[in-house]
Amino acid sequence: MTSPIRTERHGEVLVIISDNPPVNALGAAVRQGLEAAIKEGVADASVEAMVIRCDGRTFFAGADITEFGKPMQEPALPMLVDMIEASDKPVVAAIHGTALGGGCEVALACHYRVAAPSAKLGTPEVKLGLLPGAGGTQRLPRIAGVGLALEMTAKGDPIPARKAADAGLVDKLVGEDSLEADAIAFARGIKAARPIPRASQREVRPDPDAVAAFTKENSRRFRGFDAPAANIACVVKATELPYAEGVQFERAEFMRLMMGVQSAAQRHIFFAERQAAKIDDVPADTQLRPIRHVGVIGAGTMGGGISMNFLSAGIPVTIVEMAQEALDRGAGTIRKNYEATAAKGRMKPEQVEAAMGALIPTLDFDALAECDLIIEAVYESMDVKKEIFTRLDAICKPGAILASNTSYLDIDEIAATTKRPEDVVGMHFFSPANVMKLLEVVRGARTAPDVLATVMDLAKKIRKVAVVAGVTYGFIGNRMLMPRQVEANKLLMEGATPEQIDRVHVAFGMPMGPFQMSDLAGVDIGWHRDPSRIENIRDALAAEGRWGQKKQAGFYDYDEKRQPTPSPRVAEIIEDFRRKSGSTVREISDEEIVERTLYPMVNEGALILEEGKAQRASDVDVVWIYGYGWPVYRGGPMFWAKSEGYDKVVAGLDKHGFKVAQSLRDGTIR
């Protein structure tokens, strides 16, 4: 097998080039090639300096994650980077694309770094439940200081080359299209400079105040995760210990995290997210339909949020409403949202104007005739949706994709009202649609492969994570929510409180529990609207106008800042129901809440897979991570069940009398 590493001589400069598509991950062959090339440069008396650069779209994007958990082949990355730094001839990293993780560590071990202005540098290991394990936590603070090192390692977001240059991480920004030539020229300029600057030999002062402030500021973001604290601890060690000892500490922490379930879960999600984009029976090279103009029907919260995704990606949107007032309100909300983003400095005023300039609000339904994709986002009524699709069928150009944002309804029934069911698909966005990353793409019985491929590709362009779901009530996510809600309500009748159930879910790592979620979404959602018909606790709350946060009263009472407190009135209502139904009230343990609200979700996930309504278990995990805030360090419900042990989950379900999915009982979930 040919090595992914080759060398080229440019006079006295040896250029070492990696060509390991797609992202130049530092797998064994790359490490071996780099080791050999550095040795060649050191041994050759005519070489005075070296440049390391990569072919393709990026500098090394990190260690090869697929090698994790397997026996490591020599040379290990920590050894390789130390060898690079120890070279007695200067080594220059020439960075383009993204120098991430181990790739950033290779760059930090080089004596100098030059970068294309569009390049980014980062240590995203924390997002895989890890820390930079090849000296990164020790070299980064020594070069860039404690503050930036904490930001980069514990949060994991990459920084642009300009910021890296300001912090001393990059010595020179060079031409975007002349990286190699400029890096060689730079190497010639420093080839004789002595001493050679080595990051490990620098010192960095302790800064306990900065560490304390950073930890406090980010406590919410880090809640439940093991890796951020380990990253912080390593950076602190860099300020207290000589490099050789600090790096030992880093290594031990890296191995501890690597063996843990959190990192396994986060690595699972990294690959699951990418896998989700692939549809088993739709070839990757399927010809896509061009989407140059999108139509959205409905300018309410959903329609507005959906439109923003396309506007932000530079795709014009025609948005249709029935009344001028609703249209104005919808367009106004979109502008307000953009302006709020701009006020936080995350958008330039001219970008706000560009996005708003691409929005075409209209009352004329026929204006949708020229759109390439039309997304219906009106309220959940099959009759209304059928009427809309019949009208769309009559006016839309051939080949246009007709999508519904329905959360529950049967896409096949909607498609059957048209003469082109192959062009009909579900695009289920999650609220707020401009923020939440999940998109469930609902595949109808007759949806054409190129329609699916186009929508999956478009999802990436609007920065969504798309998962394919089959036609089933509630698709993947909401279908799994149903058994959870049913059990949560039963638990109230048996003696639990909304606070207890929500607390157990939050302690598990969910952003909120089932009742907090009801209050946020609206207790009145799906309510029959007849205050005299009170059949359950939810009906009783809705009848009293306790519609949730919007009314400052739901399962909780809320103050003006929307801070919840337990509600004595709700306790009374629950008590009243318990009495009337004659239920025996008892102490409910937290463990029982987990077994009765979370295990049934896993069970439902298994049924969805058995019925072929999701392609793979990891897709179900992606839905729950990106659509509902399932804690990523638990890897999604299906990964969690596996890591807990299917036997334990089955035993819990059996104990409470649930009908257990066969694949869960057999442990054959895929």
Q: Which two tokens stand for residue 454?
A: 């186009």
Question: What is the helix (H) or strand (E) element at residue 429, kind and residue range?
Answer: strand 424-429
Residue 612 and residue 606: Cα distance in Å, rounded?
A: 10
Nearest residue (CB) to ligand 3HC, 97 versus 627: 97
Residue 77 in the binding site for ligand 3HC (CB under 6 A): yes
Piece of 22-30, 351-359, 471-479, 562-570 that binds ligand 3HC (CB under 6 A): 22-30
Asked if residues 631 and 584 have their Cβ atoms less than 8 Å apart, the reply is no
Which residue matches tokens 């440069």? 41
Residue 665 and residue 650: Cα distance in Å, rounded?
A: 6
**Shortest Å distance, C-beta 258 to ligand 3HC:** 9
Nearest residue (CB) to ligand 3HC, 105 versus 376: 105
Mode of pairing for the β-strands spanning 159-160 and 120-122: antiparallel
Q: What angle do CA 156, 161, 167 make, to 5 degrees?
A: 80
Asked if residues 158 and 120 have their Cβ atoms less than 8 Å apart, the reply is yes
**Shortest Å distance, C-beta 101 to ligand 3HC:** 2
98, 518, 549, 567: residue in contact with ligand 3HC (rule CB under 6 A): 98
Q: What angle do CA 103, 107, 113 make, to 5 degrees?
A: 140
64, 207, 604, 619: residue in contact with ligand 3HC (rule CB under 6 A): 64
Residue 22 in the binding site for ligand 3HC (CB under 6 A): yes
Q: Residue 623: name the closest of 454, 481, 445 by CA.
A: 481
Catalytic residues: 105, 125
Nearest residue (CB) to ligand 3HC, 64 versus 592: 64
Nearest residue (CB) to ligand 3HC, 108 versus 553: 108
Question: What is the helix (H) or strand (E) element at residue 309, kind and residue range?
Answer: helix 301-312
Asked if residues 351 and 337 have their Cβ atoms less than 8 Å apart, the reply is no
Residue 248 in the binding site for ligand 3HC (CB under 6 A): no
Piece of 96-104, 175-183, 478-486, 629-637 that binds ligand 3HC (CB under 6 A): 96-104
**Shortest Å distance, C-beta 64 to ligand 3HC:** 4
Which residue matches tokens 């009344």? 323
Hey, what long-range contacts does 276-283 have (CB within 8 A, 24 or more apart)?
A: 276/465, 276/466, 276/467, 276/468, 276/618, 276/619, 276/622, 277/456, 277/459, 277/460, 277/466, 279/449, 279/452, 279/453, 279/456, 279/468, 279/615, 280/615, 281/449, 282/449, 282/452, 282/453, 283/449
Nearest residue (CB) to ligand 3HC, 132 versus 514: 132
Residue 490 and residue 478: Cα distance in Å, rounded?
A: 19
Piece of 101-109, 255-263, 380-388, 527-535 that binds ligand 3HC (CB under 6 A): 101-109
Piece of 7-15, 54-62, 440-448, 634-642 that binds ligand 3HC (CB under 6 A): 54-62
Please measure the distance between the N-terminal and C-terminal CA atoms of the chain and give it in whole angstroms.
Answer: 33
Nearest residue (CB) to ligand 3HC, 133 versus 305: 133
Residue 101 in the binding site for ligand 3HC (CB under 6 A): yes
14, 16, 17, 23: residue in contact with ligand 3HC (rule CB under 6 A): 23
**Shortest Å distance, C-beta 527 to ligand 3HC:** 42
257-292 residues labelled b (16+ CB within 10 A) or e (exposed): bbebbbbbbbbbbbebbeebbebeebeeebeebebe
**Shortest Å distance, C-beta 135 to ligand 3HC:** 9
Q: How many CB atoms lie within 10 A of CB 212?
A: 10
33, 41, 62, 426: residue in contact with ligand 3HC (rule CB under 6 A): 62
Q: Which two tokens stand for residue 551?
A: 């009314």
Residue 324 in the binding site for ligand 3HC (CB under 6 A): no
Nearest residue (CB) to ligand 3HC, 463 versus 569: 463
Helix (H/G/I), strand (E/B), else coil: 509: coil
Binding mask 108-137 for ligand 3HC (x = CB under 6 A): ----------------xx--x-x-xxx-x-
Number of residues that bind ligand 3HC (CB under 6 A): 26
Residue 488 and residue 597: Cα distance in Å, rounded?
A: 6
Nearest residue (CB) to ligand 3HC, 132 versus 477: 132
Piece of 100-108, 301-309, 357-365, 500-508 that binds ligand 3HC (CB under 6 A): 100-108
16, 54, 63, 227: residue in contact with ligand 3HC (rule CB under 6 A): 63
Piece of 60-68, 502-510, 531-539, 559-567 that binds ligand 3HC (CB under 6 A): 60-68
Where helices occur in 111-242 by DSSP H, the ranges are 136-144, 146-150, 161-166, 179-190, 208-217, 219-222, 227-240
Interface with ligand 3HC in residues 202-221 (CB under 6 A)? none
Residue 666 and residue 527: Cα distance in Å, rounded?
A: 39
Residue 61 in the binding site for ligand 3HC (CB under 6 A): yes
Residue 279 in the binding site for ligand 3HC (CB under 6 A): no
- The binding site for ligand 3HC (CB under 6 A) comprises 22-23, 25, 58, 61-66, 77, 98, 100-102, 105, 124-125, 128, 130, 132-134, 136, 271, 274
